[in-house]
Amino acid sequence: MDKFLIITNYTKDDGRMITSRIQSYLEKKGKECVFPLLENGEHIVPGSIPKDTDCAIVIGGDGTLIRASRTLVFEGVPILGVNLGTLGYLTEVEVQNIEAAIDQLISGDYIIEDRMMLYGKVRGEKREIALNDIVVSRSGGMRILSFHLYVNGEFLNTYQADGIIISTPTGSTAYNLSAGGPIIEPTASMILVTPICSHTLTKGSIVFSADDEVVIELGARRDEVKDEAVISFDGADLTAFETGDRLVIKRARETTGLVTLKRTSFLETLREKMKGN
């Protein structure tokens, strides 16, 4: 690897100390560093990434890495995360290990994990992609919503709930986990559906094949008043969703490549991250 794209969450790297440290070390090793054009200080401007980029180093937390992944996935650039957040399930490198991690990266002592992503489409409009999850939740008010779940065209169940999470294995340790869903090994291929604060006896998550098509329809209440909800893709790109609308979710063709330097197992990483939580 010779050309590195550096993406920084500057609210976490105040004063650019970590960014400058990484840039300086890479340049001492004879490597080239480039920075993307950012819109509103955080969103990568499409088309601003050099075609010959070998790797992106993302400095921040899991949220920073997820935002970057949704652009970089179309460029085919693998990502190495430097953790300036809290838990850091996705960010591989801790600050104290930066130089050793760069040495390992340059020497080729790494693997790239391909992480499954999801596409979601509403009303036949533009598709949006997600690495962690697609979430449908109520928009204003405290009313319970009714969600009809279809799989491969067949009706399965209706949830009375505050919302519903459709997650990848990578996203199983995010909102899904907070909502009581199971943790799934992140390189697996499957789709996980978890209701948020379900008001029925069917509170549990359901795991589907990655090749299944999952459809969420917002149902009508008895008073026939239209409900309004909102769809988020990895916590962004909010899309309005109302009674009668259908959200169609499938596995994306694209995958996010995450650079892994450690030789520890997922279970060991999980055990370390969950200490005291």
Rounded CA-CA distance 192/9 in Å is 29
Pairing mode, strands 55-60 and 206-209: unpaired
Are 182 and 203 contacting, i.e. CB atoms less than 8 angstroms apart? no
Rounded CA-CA distance 264/267 in Å is 8
Q: What share of the chain is helix, strand, coil (3-state, %, to 5)?
A: 20, 40, 40
Which amino acid type is present at position 65? L
Residue 47, classified by CB atoms within 10 Å of its CB into exposed (0-12), middle (13-18) or buried (19+), is: exposed
Helix (DSSP H) and strand (DSSP E) numbers for the chain: 5, 19
Rounded CA-CA distance 70/221 in Å is 35
Rounded CA-CA distance 85/95 in Å is 11
Neighbouring residues of 239: CB distance < 8 A, sequence distance ≥ 6: 122, 128, 230, 231, 232, 233
Pinpoint the alpha helices (H) of 166-265: 175-178
Question: Which of the residues 62, 133, 162, 234 is marked catalytic?
Answer: 62
Helix/strand/coil for 177: helix
Rounded CA-CA distance 255/242 in Å is 30
Nearest CA to 250 among 223, 216, 273?
216
Task: Mark whether 162 is an active-site residue.
Answer: no
Instruction: Tell me the catalytic residues.
Output: 62
